[in-house]
Amino acid sequence: MTKTGKVYLVGAGPGDVGLLTTKGREMLQKAQVVVYDRLVSRDILELIPEEAIRIDVGKYAGRHPVPQERINEILREQALAGRQVVRLKGGDCFLFGRGGEELELLWESGVPFEVVPGIPSALAAPAYGGIPVTHRDFCSSVHIITGHKKEDGELSLDYDALIRLQGTLIFMMSVASGAEIAKGLMTHGMAVSMPCAVVENGTRSEQRTFVTTLQHLEGIIQKERIQSPALIVVGPVCTLAEKFDWFSKLPLKGARLLVTRPKEKEGTLVGRLRELGAHVTSLPAIATKPVPFPIPDLSQYGVLVFTSGAGVNSFFQALWREGLDARKMAGLKIAVVGKETEKQLATYGLRADFVPTVFCAETLAGEMLESGFLEKGIRVLLIQAKIASEEVFQRLSARGIQTDRLTVYETQYVQQEGIDPGEYDFGIFTSASSVEGYARALGEKAEVEALAAVCIGEKTAAAARELGMPVYVAKEATIQSLIETVWEQYRDKKKENEG
């Protein structure tokens, strides 16, 4: 007999992946089945385990391809099959999310369930627009109302009661009925000059906030072509947006970026870009996979050379599996190709003895030879990928330096779907293999050259130019320099568009 699984009703928050709760993330990463709506951002969907079953029930404004009753049944069926199921819903499950309806059938069927609340867009979207929904100088209450019309097309609101509340009014799912709401409030006595705001795509990089008055609300919605998801805020607190709007001032606000680093390496880069306001889509076009190798007799060598952070990780993980650790490196000098590899080495408690001034294989080899770092008669172990640049090996060997190569990982290309290069301002590439992976991931028919490439170094840039991509190269081969280059190019692009 199959043991019954469990359903976790998880609020995904308003869109910004950083607003997904810690528990929500944990449940998602343990899920065997994930049932989700259209309002859940791609960034959050990327957290779903590769082996998990994904079920897109496709609910969004005005269209429900999968009826609610069928969604309820899917949750029950998957749980009764013994699976751990996450029902992922935008915002909070119980705030106009029909979460209660989904639990009814589970309760009747004896299926265990748990609710993980999410940050509601009703509070988060105004906050990202600089609107505090309560303020002691303006109001002491906030009221959240659905602006979604019933099946018969009517919007049943008691406008007199809403006006008497004298608090901030937040109308969810209200774009289509915005004009009717404004008219209803004004007809029942609310001042035509009452401040209000429309917040579209709340908490996402493409968020737009428009502050106006009730009498001009309909015009703003039409002129700016506001689309769902959006909400309307009514009340004097909306005037504070001019002072408190922090999100729109972020330097990369509105930038749409494609990051192609392997999933295990993307964290710092993606996180910092999002902190600057960018919309970042992760396209892990390549993945690094450790390969088995015998631990060499390190006492034969005087220098170890690491040409990537992935090589550092694979090497030390293999040492650990054999019951060894960094003490095995005693007496060895270590050279690395750049600062990012140096940082990775430091996580294992070791400092690099040599870092080139320009972070590439050619400079690494040249400066090791010319600086006297490689003593006469020394033996070098070059730790690298299965397919790697021959630059270091060839130059050292040509100068009579005995150099052995140790393959510790391989690069695999990952197929991706649903990516349109033309939708992004820039793609960010940290290796030539990530450029090749990007082209392979999109397939032969894709217009890969439609994406402008920001590259960490000249070798990466050369690979992008071969594809016909516009190319910008970071001044230094570091994540910080890469981010600065993105910011500079995005700033210039905005000026050009505005001019």
Active site residue ranges: 37, 59
Q: Which amino acid is at 402?
A: Q
* Residue 165, token pair as written in the block: 């509340």
Rounded-to-integer distance, Cα 75 and Cα 81, Å:
10
Host H or E run for residue 304: strand 303-306
Residue 120, phi then psi, degrees to nearest 5:
-75, 140
Residue 290, phi then psi, degrees to nearest 5:
-60, 145
> Coil, helix or strand for 285?
coil
* Residue 310, token pair as written in the block: 């992935």
Burial group, residue 424, by CB count within 10 angstroms (0-12, 13-18, 19+):
buried
Q: Which amino acid is at 394?
A: Q
Rounded-to-integer distance, Cα 90 and Cα 97, Å:
8
Rounded-to-integer distance, Cα 435 and Cα 427, Å:
9
Among 133, 337, 93, 166, smallest CA distance to 233 is for 133
Rounded-to-integer distance, Cα 409 and Cα 387, Å:
9
Rounded-to-integer distance, Cα 371 and Cα 260, Å:
35
Q: How many helices (H) and strands (E) does the chain have?
A: 17, 20
C-alpha separations of 9 from 35, 122, 147 in Å: 10, 19, 24
Size (the chain), residues: 499
Rounded-to-integer distance, Cα 404 and Cα 401, Å:
10
- DSSP label at residue 47: T
* Residue 226, token pair as written in the block: 């506001």
What is the dihedral angle through the alpha carbons of 435, 436, 437, 441, rounded to the nearest 10 degrees? 110
Cα diameter, the chain: 92
Rounded-to-integer distance, Cα 306 and Cα 286, Å:
19
